[in-house]
Structure formats: C-alpha cells, structure tokens
Amino acid sequence: MSAGEKKIWFPAKQYGWGWGPPVCWQGWVFLLLWIAASSGSAYFAIVRLEKFWLFFIFEAILIGVLILVCLLKGEKPGWRWGDKK
C-alpha cells in the first residue's frame, strides 16, 4: 500500500449499494463495539428507564456514527452490478 492509499475497513458490496462485512481487524472491532453499544442502548433505554423514545434517539445517533465510519474508512459507495463498475 502506498502512502496515498487509505486502508479499507469496509469494502463496497459487489451487487447493489453500500458496504459489505469488514475486511480487517479494525473494522471487526468497530462493528462489535457498535453492536455492543446498540444492545446496551436498548437495555438502558427500554429495560432500565422504560423510555422507548429514548432508544430511537440512541439508535439514530449510533446509525449515524456507523454510516460516518463507513464513509471515512470504506470504499466509495455506489451502485454496483457484479463485474461492471
């Protein structure tokens, strides 16, 4: 990898739009931490506080963080149709 290239955590999907599963350990650590935070927000907001609306706020923030990390550390998103780029 040259100095100008960034290390990709999340590759683009082969078909459709978006990103696939992580391809390096940093991506897997981030994804596991994100899942833990999502589960923790559900437990905290719904079970402990009994405020379902708070869960939606937490999840919206976490989804925004996930999309931001995928944009920064993943390949450029776009529609892909297999071998056709």
For residue 48, is pLDDT > 90?
Answer: no
| CA 85/CA 74 separation, integer angstroms | 16
What pLDDT shows up at residue 19?
A: 95
For residue 32, is pLDDT > 80?
Answer: yes
Q: What is the mean pLDDT of residues 12-21?
A: 92
For residue 78, is pLDDT > 80?
Answer: yes
| CA 59/CA 1 separation, integer angstroms | 35
What pLDDT shows up at residue 4?
A: 61
Q: What is the mean pLDDT of residues 27-47?
A: 95
